[in-house]
């Protein structure tokens, strides 16, 4: 039994070592930075506030894994939204609100730097646009601009 556990842990550690840094994908913004993980997380949160949005949620497996004795690269999902946009979107599509908050994703790279990534709000809300009020596309574009401003401020 001990051999099986050792083998399983070895396989888990090998699979984590082979994880790749994030790269561009359709509908995503992926911004590698020279910043370390903790600094980028703090800078994203500050940029969210500076852009009159709120950090609604935060989650990541890094600390829980560490408590279990497992070391993994830094990984944090930050949910970003604002009640003004929530009310506007609800007036346009009840179903679309399931996508709030929209997430920004900070990942630690193999070289110790960090990457900021997010799906554009337009991509996130696209599945609802055909059935929604046409202004949903306008709101999504406004949020695209805000998320870009957040990202640019966080990278400074």
What is the mean predicted confidence (pLDDT) over 36-58? 98
Tokens of 144: 């695209």
Percent of the chain with pLDDT strictly greater than 90: 82
Give residue-wise pLDDT tens across range 86-102: 999 999 999 999 999 99
Q: Is the peptide bond before 73 cis (omega within 30 degrees of 0)?
A: no
Tokens of 84: 């003004």
Q: What angle do the packed helices 37-50 and 135-155 form, to 10 degrees? A: 130
The neighbour count for residue 109, using CB atoms within 10 Å, is 17
Domains parsed from the chain with CATH numbers: 2-155 (3.30.310.70)
Q: What is the pLDDT of residue 25?
A: 79
Would you give the DSSP letter of residue 74? -
Q: What is the spatial distance between Cα 147 and Cα 153, in angstroms, rounded to a whole number? A: 10
Residue entry with tokens 């009159």: 52
Q: What is the pLDDT of residue 2?
A: 55
- Judged on CB neighbours under 10 Å (0-12, 13-18, 19+), 118 is buried
Per the prediction, the chain carries an average pLDDT of 89
**pLDDT score of 39 more than 70:** yes
For the entire predicted model, the pTM comes to 0.84
**pLDDT score of 114 more than 90:** yes
């Amino acid at each position: 039994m001990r051999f099986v556990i050792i083998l399983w842990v070895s396989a888990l550690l090998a699979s984590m070592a082979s994880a790749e840094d994030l790269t561009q994908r359709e509908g995503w913004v992926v911004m590698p930075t020279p910043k370390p993980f903790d600094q980028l997380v703090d800078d994203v949160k500050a940029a969210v506030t500076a852009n009159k949005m709120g950090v609604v949620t935060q989650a990541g497996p890094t600390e829980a894994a560490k408590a279990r004795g497992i070391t993994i690269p830094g990984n944090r999902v930050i949910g970003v939204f604002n009640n003004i946009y929530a009310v506007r979107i609800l007036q346009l599509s009840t179903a679309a609100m399931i996508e709030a908050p929209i997430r920004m994703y900070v990942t630690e790279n193999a070289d110790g730097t960090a990457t900021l990534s997010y799906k554009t709000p337009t991509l996130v809300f696209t599945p609802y646009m055909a059935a929604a009020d046409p202004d949903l596309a306008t709101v999504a574009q406004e949020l695209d601009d805000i998320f870009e401003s957040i990202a640019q401020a966080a990278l400074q």
